[in-house]
A and B are shown apart, each in its own frame.
Chain A
Amino acid sequence: MTDHELYIKSIEYRIKLLKYIKMAGAGHTGGSLSCVDILNVLYNRILKVTPETFSDPGRDRYIQSKGHSVEALYIVLADHGFFPEKELETFYGYGSSYTGHPTRKVKGVEQNTGGLGHGLAFSVGVALAGKIDQSAYRVFTLLGDGELAEGSNWESLMAAAHYHLDNLCIIIDRNNLQLTGHTEDMCGLEPLAQKLEAFGGQVRAVDGHNLTALTEILSKVPFAEGQPSVVIARTVKGKGISFMENNPKWHHGVPDDNQYEQAQQELKTKLAEIGS
């Protein structure tokens, strides 16, 4: 897939995830918009997994620890044929498999997540099994920055370093916001890169919306032999919709009709600009 096609996908994914959030009247809008470019690059450029190989023990794994940004995951999985996109019309609905946090009922989802601070320990287990079996698969996991206050993450990072899990890549969606406000006003994370390094990670930072740069950095995993790779993806919560960007109100805000029209218009204008 060319960079140009990838950028088109990035806008199309936003158009769709807003559509289903609007249809459901619920969703984690801001965080999905901040991480959808990461998912775009992972599924279109990096991960070796398809609906056909999803049961293959040698498949690459993606585990989304920040389970609340589930719309971004559903849209990308649907785009890759894990299930028909039309099924997302039931998102958040009574009895739907497409709940507000991912579960294994949905093809393509490796693990039920949603409670924060869980995805990394699970990913460490999967990566450890890969090492034991001398399998070539890699494990990518996406963590929110707010969830790094959960101490379990740091237990898991210590284990990842201890077991030299260079088949594990931890991506942090560093959008600086959580439900209540700025991460540094809640329980400060900085200096984050130094903390992650001190816990044994090989840390790189990248613009989490620059698809070319994301591709480049994620293609280089592992960054160092014998160490887990950590990518701090600098992102913008609500990215791509002017009035949603950097505003904690959109953590799980749902646009009203006018806002929805404006948001879709902004995205369509961008799509026209880059040319489809």
Chain B
Amino acid sequence: MSFTPGTELGRANQEVFAETLLTLAKEDKDILAVTSDSRGSGKLMSYAAALPEQLIEVGIAEQNLVGVAAGLASAGKIVFAVSPASFLTARALEQIKNDVCYSDQAVKLVGISAGVSYGALGSTHHATHDIAVLRAIHNITIVVPADNLETAEAVKTAAKMTHPVYLRFGKRPMPDLHLSGTPFEIGKALRIRDGSDIAFIAAGEAVHPALKAAEELDKSGYSTRVISMHTVKPLDAEAVIRAARECRAVVTVEEHHTSGGLGEACASTLMEANVQVPFKIAGIPDEYAMTGSQVEIFRHYGLTASGLARTATALLEDQ
């Protein structure tokens, strides 16, 4: 059986999240989804119909969502608090910090429609800050799955975790990047293809354009590695350092501001390890993002096959 990463279109990661959660929750009545008028956006309508007793609705009240989730978790419930990433991680940030992380309540925070999934709705609905703010909070694992396999595995792992975790999902159907059965482990990056000239270290829905860029670069004679860094915290430092040592340039790619996200996490890891490499952070610059569809916004900021290939080529040619 042959498998080529990125060729078969799967479903939206947040759909796979909801489906996986439903499967788990049918087997364990302690699993609860808590929503803030977000069951539709979170693709939890089937879940709500199948397990109405295992869905807690709090209305449009994200602060309460997170506080209530912490209380439920403290009483032994396995709680997935689901809300658009933009609101969950800004409106309820103090609840995330105090009620969940500082108090070590094992809530699973689920940021849906993350990044610029809600591209045309404008910056109120964009979540391009979430990874940065959560990286600065102690005691939370940050997971940004790239495809359906990573999503399903991340949800299953999160259900068993005894400390806080943030799962970040988008709403666009994602191509499969891994062969079925690929082992997934929190904190351990997945290498999708190997190469020695350029390394793309990407996360979430930005992994696929990085893969397409790698294919273009290969045609131009640049051997290109692609890593899905699904866990941004704790970062797989070994994979980052190896990429920098084994390749001539590193480009990080993320659907997030270039401040405080995956790119800066990789940069500080390399600086502190005293590894020098031509390095570029691709993402959304310090401005309120252009509006339009997610695809248009990615194109605007060069987060496409050709845009990322140009970025990587320029980085190599500058040497």
Contacts and interface: CB of A to CB of B under 8 A. Distances in A.
A115 to B, nearest CB: 5
B68 interface: yes
Contact of B64 (A103, A110, A132, A156): A156
Contacts of B98: 112-115, 118
B164 to A, nearest CB: 13
Interface residues of A, number: 31
A72 B102 CA distance: 22
B72 A128 contact: yes
B75 A126 contact: yes
A260 interface: no
Contacts of A112: 98-99, 102-103
A159 B74 contact: no
B95 interface: yes
Given A152-B67, A155-B63, A156-B67, A130 B75 contact: yes
B302 interface: no
Contact of B104 (A104, A128, A155, A158): A104
B75 A57 contact: yes
Q: How large is the interface on B (under 10, 10 to 19, 20 to 34, 35 or more residues)?
A: 20 to 34
Given A111-B103, A118-B95, A124 B71 contact: yes
Interface in B54-109: 56, 58-59, 61, 63-64, 66-77, 94-95, 98-99, 102-105
A121 to B, nearest CB: 2
Contacts of A100: none
A126 B98 CA distance: 16
Interface in A209-264: none
B36 to A, nearest CB: 10
A267 B270 CA distance: 62
A111 B74 CA distance: 9
User: By CB atoms of chain A within 10 A, which of B56, B63, B76 has the most?
Assistant: B63
Contact of A159 (B61, B77, B94): B61
A159 B58 contact: yes
A130 B71 CA distance: 10
A181 interface: no
A128 B71 contact: yes
**Of B56, B76, B103, most A-chain CB atoms within 10 Å:** B103
Given A104-B103, A129-B77, A121 B66 contact: yes
Contacts of A129: 71-72, 74-77
B68 A121 contact: yes
A72 to B, nearest CB: 20
Interface string B18-43: 00000000000000100000000000
A264 B108 CA distance: 49
Contacts of A110: 74
A148 to B, nearest CB: 15
Contacts of B63: 117, 121, 151-152, 155
A122 B73 CA distance: 9
B99 A111 contact: yes
Contacts of A156: 64, 67-68
A125 B69 contact: yes
A124 B104 contact: no
Interface in B103-154: 103-105
Nearest to B64: A155
A167 to B, nearest CB: 11
Contacts of B102: 103, 112
A124 B75 contact: no
A123 interface: yes
Contacts of B67: 118, 120-122, 124-125, 152, 156
Nearest to B54: A132
A229 B212 CA distance: 60
Interface in A127-180: 127-130, 132-133, 151-152, 155-156, 158-159, 162
A130 B67 CA distance: 16
Contacts of B70: 111, 121-122, 125
Nearest to B71: A125
A111 B98 CA distance: 9
Contact of A121 (B56, B59, B71): B71
B139 to A, nearest CB: 11
Contacts of B105: 111
B71 A126 contact: yes
A158 B94 CA distance: 20
Interface pairs A-B: 5 shortest CB-CB:
A125-B71, A121-B67, A129-B75, A155-B64, A155-B61
21 contacts: A104-B103, A111-B71, A111-B103, A115-B98, A118-B94, A118-B99, A121-B71, A121-B95, A125-B72, A126-B72, A126-B75, A129-B74, A129-B75, A129-B77, A132-B77, A152-B67, A152-B95, A155-B58, A155-B61, A156-B64, A159-B59
Interface of A: 57, 103-104, 110-115, 117-118, 120-130, 132-133, 151-152, 155-156, 158-159, 162
Given A118-B67, A125-B67, A128-B68, 5 more contacts: A111-B74, A112-B99, A121-B63, A125-B72, A128-B56
Interface of B: 32, 53, 56, 58-59, 61, 63-64, 66-77, 94-95, 98-99, 102-105
